[in-house]
Amino acid sequence: MMASSTPYAAAGVLAVMVAALCLHGAAAQLVEDYYDDTCPDAYDIVKQTLIEAHQSDTRIYASLLRLHFHDCFVQGCDGSILLDNMTGFQTEKEAVPNMGSARGFPVVDAVKAALEDACPGVVSCADILALAAEISVELSGGPKWGVLLGRLDGLTSSIAGANNLPAPFENLTVLERKFSDVGLKDLVDLVALSGYSARTSLIPRRTGSTTSAAQICLTRP
Ligand code: HEM
């Protein structure tokens, strides 16, 4: 993703907005130094794994950022998008906005494995997604921010919630409501975040299209 100053600015807003989004519904206080004592190399381990993944998949940073967004928008940032299907239990992965387009799961698994080697049972999957999103923005040339940590992993997955993620065909009224429902009440949040999605979606896509859903969001009345 070769970005101009415009997406840099958008990513700056993104840092604040994603933090707000992640705090939505979280009961505990998140802090930047949560793993400083228990897993001091966590940040570097995640970063190294992402850099290695990027060597064979240049789209991975964008995909990991989107994964975090799709996790946070459904019952908060609890890692529930990572849960796999079990008998009688439909998951967020199977929801329309995720099925076939949410990607990066093997890289998240690789990060988790590396962290388990270094400090078993310490870093939550929800925090891995948050760290991966922040590091992805940073490695893409965007700003760096102190991502807040200390999330607990969710034990449930909501396919209904995931099916309610913002969709490319929805009008501004509906999108405003959906962002507002997760605590992003300022229209600026919607425009900044959707603009970021539009920009990152200029990366060559598996569909070959360069028009993202969020671009449509922004141009619809
Ligand atoms: C109005 C709200 C939004 C809509 C309707 C929307 C929809 C979409 C759609 C349909 C795609 C293409 C998925 C595919 O087929 O591969 C996409 C890509 C993407 N979106 Fe959004 N999005 C929105 C907001 C956001 C936000 C808030 C973020 C980040 C915080 C985000 C990050 C991304 C990224 C990084 C990609 C590229 C993913 C990849 O290449 O794997 N989007 N978006």
Cα-only R_g, the chain: 16
Give, for ligand 1, the residue of 134, 197, 203 to mutate: max count of ligand atoms closer than 8 Å to Cβ.
Answer: 197
Mean pLDDT of the chain: 82
**Residue 175 to residue 219: CA distance in whole angstroms:** 13
Give residues with Cβ within 8 angstroms of 85, minimum separation 6: 91, 93, 94
76 is in an annotated binding site: yes
Give, for ligand 1, the residue of 66, 98, 186 to mutate: max count of ligand atoms closer than 8 Å to Cβ.
Answer: 66
Question: In this predicted structure, what is the pLDDT of residue 86?
Answer: 79
Supply 14's token pair.
């993104």
Start-to-end C-alpha separation, the chain: 29
80 is in an annotated binding site: yes
Q: Give the residue among 197, 34, 202 at the shortest CA–CA distance from 124.
A: 34
Ligand 1 centroid, distance to 66 Cα (angstroms): 6
Supply 55's token pair.
């060597």
**Cβ–Cβ contacts within 10 Å for residue 167, how many?**
15
Largest alpha-carbon pair distance within the chain? 51
130 lines ligand 1 (CB under 6 A): no
Question: In this predicted structure, what is the pLDDT of residue 197?
Answer: 65
Q: Name the band, by pLDDT with cuts 50, 70 and 90, for residue 210.
A: very low
* Tens-place pLDDT, residues 155-176: 999 999 999 999 989 999 999 9
Residue 4: is its pLDDT beyond 50?
A: no
What pTM value is reported for the model?
0.83
203 lines ligand 1 (CB under 6 A): yes
Strand partners, 86: 89
Q: Which residue has the tokens 């990991």?
A: 64
* Tens-place pLDDT, residues 59-90: 999 999 999 999 999 999 999 999 998 777 89
As a three-state string, the secondary structure of the chain is CCCCHHHHHHHHHHHHHHHHHHHCCCCCCCECCCCCCCCCCHHHHHHHHHHHHHHHCCCHHHHHHHHHHHHHCCCCCCCHHHCCCECCECCHHHCCCCCCCCCCHHHHHHHHHHHHHHCCCCCCHHHHHHHHHHHHHHHCCCCCCCCCECCCCCCCCCHHHHHCCCCCCCCHHHHHHHHHHCCCCCHHHHHHHHHHHHHHCCCCCCCCCCCCHHHHHHHCC
